[in-house]
Amino acid sequence: NAGVTQTPKFRVLKTGQSMTLLCAQDMNHEYMYWYRQDPGMGLRLIHYSVGEGTTAKGEVPDGYNVSRLKKQNFLLGLESAAPSQTSVYFCASRPNRRTGDNQPQHFGDGTRLSIL
């Protein structure tokens, strides 16, 4: 009963390095989301996807790229990490709208990323 799994859980990078965060869900959900959480800022949406092969920008997309090549996976990439990207990153998923607009999101446990 995994739900939403994020890897890695922790990572420290140097400025300018690149990395990819992986989100995997086993609930056959159509929609997936990447958020960042910073103190006092709540959750801010980076990118989201409404289905395999589709992605869209959220509130704070700059400096990030995403891909949804498989329905169960949603990857978040940092091409050239900056200290301002130090944050906790959360992935979420939810069923498509045919199951109802009242469906909540399911969240992973987060990836804690530090950029030095």
Distant-in-sequence, close-in-space partners of 21: CB < 8 Å, separation ≥ 6: 6, 7, 8, 34, 75, 76, 77, 78, 89, 91, 111, 113
Instruction: By CB under 8 A, tell whether 110 contacts another protein.
Output: yes
Q: Give the residue, chosen from 19, 22, 58, 63, that forms a contact with another protein under the rule CB under 8 A.
A: 58
Smaller CB separation from another protein, 77 or 110: 110
Residue count of the chain, please give it: 116
Smaller CB separation from another protein, 17 or 110: 110
Q: Give the residue, chosen from 21, 23, 25, 31, that forms a contact with another protein under the rule CB under 8 A.
A: 31
The nearest distance, CB 102 to another protein, in angstroms, is 4
Instruction: By CB under 8 A, tell whether 42 contacts another protein.
Output: yes
Q: For the chain, how far is it from start to end, CA to CA, in angstroms?
A: 35
The nearest distance, CB 114 to another protein, in angstroms, is 15
Binding residues vs another protein (CB under 8 A): 4, 31, 33, 40-43, 45, 48, 50, 58, 90, 92, 97, 100-102, 104-105, 107-110
